[in-house]
Structure 1
Amino acid sequence: MRHVILYTKEACTLCDEAELLLSFFMETHPFELERRDINTNDEWFEKYHLEIPVIEMGGKQLYGEGINYESIKKLFQVNRSKDIPST
């Protein structure tokens, strides 16, 4: 199963929209979603405070306003070959 990380923070409208877009893919492209609040980790904050939301999967990342249905779809397609069957 794919592992998707969503870097987010409280009261972030773009983050909420990114999570909603991700939910559209849950049934057709099952994945485990890990939410990371950048305010809980200094390294995440330093790296992403100007970029959030950030979606990371398979070492690839999507940032901020570049996150849309098509960009997420492409990210899942790129990571299709990396799926590990669940047992």
Structure 2
Amino acid sequence: MKVVMYSRKQCPLCEKAKIQLLALQTEFQFEFEEVDIYENDSLLERYQLMIPVVEINGEEVEYGQIVKENIRKRLLKKMM
């Protein structure tokens, strides 16, 4: 399973989301990748007002204020 978080530097919500996602790695086995939207024009255009955005196996599951429990539920669903 792969979890991607779209973010940018100097983003407090992104830092908080990253901490929550890394904590979930103690419960679930998944690959984590953080992508800076400012390194790709199309990602910047797509996500600039939404970050952080969390994607699990290619599906956007949450953005903005990331709630750890919501991500936990999505990870459980993906495992079934």
Structure 2-normalised TM-score? 0.92
SS at 1:10 equivalent: coil
What secondary structure sits across from 1:36 in the alignment? Answer: strand
Runs of 5+ in structure 2 lacking a partner? none
Unpaired runs of at least 5, structure 1: 82-87
Contact 1:8 1:52 in 2 (8 A): yes
Determine if contact 1:60/1:75 at 8 Å carries over to the other structure: no
Identity level (%): 34
Provide the C-alpha distance between the structure 2 equivalents of 1:78 and 1:45, rounded to a whole number of angstroms: 29
Report whether the alignment pairs 1:62 with 2:62. Answer: yes
What does residue 34 of structure 2 align with?
Answer: 35
Q: Paired residues, what number?
A: 79
Cα distance change on mapping 1:62 and 1:22 into 2, 3 Å: same
Which consecutive aligned stretches of 4+ in structure 1 deviate over 6 angstroms post-superposition?
A: none
Largest Rg, 1 or 2: 1
Aligned residue type for 1:8: S
Letter in 2 for 1:64: G
1:25 Cα deviation after fit: 1.0
**What is the correspondence of 1:1-87 to structure 2 with a 5 Å cutoff?**
2-58=1-57, 59-65=59-65, 67-81=66-80
CA shift, 1:61, in A, is 2.1
Aligned-partner residue type, residue 5 of structure 1:
V
The alignment's TM-score, normalised by the length of structure 1, stands at 0.85
